[in-house]
Structure 1
Amino acid sequence: MKGYNKAIGNYGEDLAISYLKEKKYHVLIHSFKCKQGEVDIIAKTHDIICFIEVKSRFSRLYGAPMESITYSKRNRIINTAKYYLYINNIKNCNVRFDVMELLLNNTNNCCKINHIIDAFR
């Protein structure tokens, strides 16, 4: 089951990256990992660095994808972002934390993407 969930997550992240590129975002890193945690996508639009969490689901049976991002998960993402900014010596920049919800369809390749801009602080 873990491998299946990972495959769904990877597929969702690939779709999210394609979506972001269509919207003229510059994707800096896909899957940034460190001791503090992981950020699925780090992208830049205009003068804003966006740390993006991607949540892919086949149904809303267990709630909206956004609802699975707990307080502790948000803190891990924020701390990972701080570390990314520190190691890349990025100062005095605008940052935001987005969430991309992808509702996949198991009968065809369609999916619904909900890009929640500035989802948390």
Structure 2
Amino acid sequence: MRAKDAVGRYGEDVAAAYVRDAGWVVLDRNWRGERGELDLVALDGTELVAVEVKTRRTATFGSPAEAVTPRKLARVRRLTAQWLAAHEVHPASVRIDVVAVLVTGRGAAQVDHLVGVV
């Protein structure tokens, strides 16, 4: 596994633990759709949340959340619709969140959770 892939996987593990600790139920991880992948799909109460996880080792080029572009969010919206069509889940509502993870190598990873980014 490449170092970049390992950092991404670690960030997804941190994000999954973060939402579980918040009381969410993780329904899916790394779900592959026709044109991409959803990092996390979870239930926050009765609301379905598609979570885009961005992980970085440094903030030199901005925060991890800044890497989530409008184009990426459009892809996440399309994939969320595909996920809903493929599963027997009928949430009260749906939203997209971003969990940005900064892994500096010193201490615990820093987590920034952006709710309802679309």
TM-score, scaled relative to structure 2: 0.92
2:114 corresponding residue in structure 1: 116
The runs of at least 4 consecutive aligned structure 1 residues that moved more than 4 Å come to 89-92
Identical aligned residues as a percent: 26
SS class of match (1:62): coil
Partners of 1:59 and 1:41 in 2: how far apart? 23
SS class of match (1:31): strand
Gaps in structure 2 of 5+ consecutive residues? none
1:14 aligns to 2:13 (yes or no): yes
Partners of 1:38 and 1:29 in 2: how far apart? 11
Shift of 1:72: 1.6
TM-score, scaled relative to structure 1: 0.90
| Amino acid aligned to 2:39 | D
Aligned length: 118
Partners of 1:106 and 1:87 in 2: how far apart? 39
Greater share of strand residues, 1 or 2? 1
Shift of 1:89: 4.5
Partners of 1:17 and 1:92 in 2: how far apart? 20
Q: Is the 8 A contact 1:31 1:41 kept in 2?
A: yes
Q: Is the 8 A contact 1:37 1:79 kept in 2?
A: no
Cα-to-partner distance string for 1:57-114 (whole Å, 9 max, x where unaligned): 1221111111111222111111000001111244563000000011112134x11111
CA RMSD for the aligned pairs? Answer: 1.6
